[in-house]
Structure 1
Amino acid sequence: MTLVARFSALLLAFSMALPAMAMSLDEAKNALESAKSQGLVGETPSGYLSAVGSDQKSKDIASAINDARREAYKKIAEKHGIAVTKVETVAGQKAVEKTPSGQYIQVDGHWIKK
């Protein structure tokens, strides 16, 4: 096997393993409250979480939770015959309102500690 063929096989194997390294929803749920309390993840008015900083674990938590939220919002919108954006907006408002003091929310594109 040539060096190029070995490299290609290794690259293919690595790329197939990437999805397996993604954070599961259960892992994200278990890490969410701690990440919020530490100021790593915050609520946005869009109805989704976002990483406050740039660390990958926070981004992974937000991504896994947001995927689940997106599916839930879609189901709610279909059930009530409304736009998903309406569900996202209402969910975002509620999430921001429910966020305890000391945790981060996004206001006008900027993070503030509530």
Structure 2
Amino acid sequence: MRKLTQLSAVLLTMVLTIPAFAMGLDDAKDKLDSAKRQGLVGETPTGYLDVVHAAGDARDVVETINEARRNEYTRIAEKHAIPVTQVETVAGKKAIEKTPSGQFVLIEGQWVKK
């Protein structure tokens, strides 16, 4: 249980910081935040982003951020000797919890505006 608590803390920090590293510090957070505010991109329970409405550079943002997340989840899983799916699940839960009102999350296969 202690490993899971530590993992949750690490993932929370990671979910909040990965976008900045995924696309470059200058524009990553702005592009992701903008896509989320416009309802183009949302968080999923799998720990990854997905396209809600395909417009603009939504697909590029999703692919870039998800690649960075995938790499980080793998690193964390290897470090803690746990399955990457466990890391993804915890990260997805934390990302959905942290999603602000007005943005989309995937709940039971349906996009829901928080």
Q: Are 2:70 and 1:66 equivalent residues in the alignment?
A: no
Q: How far apart in 1 are the matches of 2:70 and 2:103? A: 22
One-letter code aligned to 2:44: T
Moved over 3 A (4+): 27-30
Q: How far apart in 2 are the matches of 1:55 and 1:33? A: 15
Q: How far off its partner does 1:28 sit?
A: 4.1
Aligned 8 A contact 1:45 1:92 in 2: yes
Q: What secondary structure, in the 3-state scheme, does the structure 1 residue paired with 2:42 have? A: strand
Q: How far off its partner does 1:55 sit?
A: 2.4
Higher RCO (C-alpha 8 Å, min separation 6): 2
- Number of residue-to-residue matches in the alignment: 91
Q: What secondary structure, in the 3-state scheme, does the structure 2 residue paired with 1:95 have? A: helix
Q: How far apart in 1 are the matches of 2:43 and 2:103? A: 9
TM-score w.r.t. the length of structure 1 is: 0.75
Q: How far apart in 2 are the matches of 1:57 and 1:51? A: 10
Tell me which residue corresponds to 1:25.
23
Aligned 8 A contact 1:29 1:65 in 2: no
Q: How far off its partner does 1:39 sit?
A: 0.8
Report the identity percentage: 57
Q: In terms of Rg, which structure is larger? A: 1
Q: What secondary structure, in the 3-state scheme, does the structure 2 residue paired with 1:46 have? A: coil
Aligned 8 A contact 1:37 1:102 in 2: yes
Aligned 8 A contact 1:28 1:60 in 2: no
Tell me which residue corresponds to 1:77.
77
One-letter code aligned to 2:81: G
Q: Flag structure 1 segments of 5+ consecutive residues without an equivalent.
A: 1-23
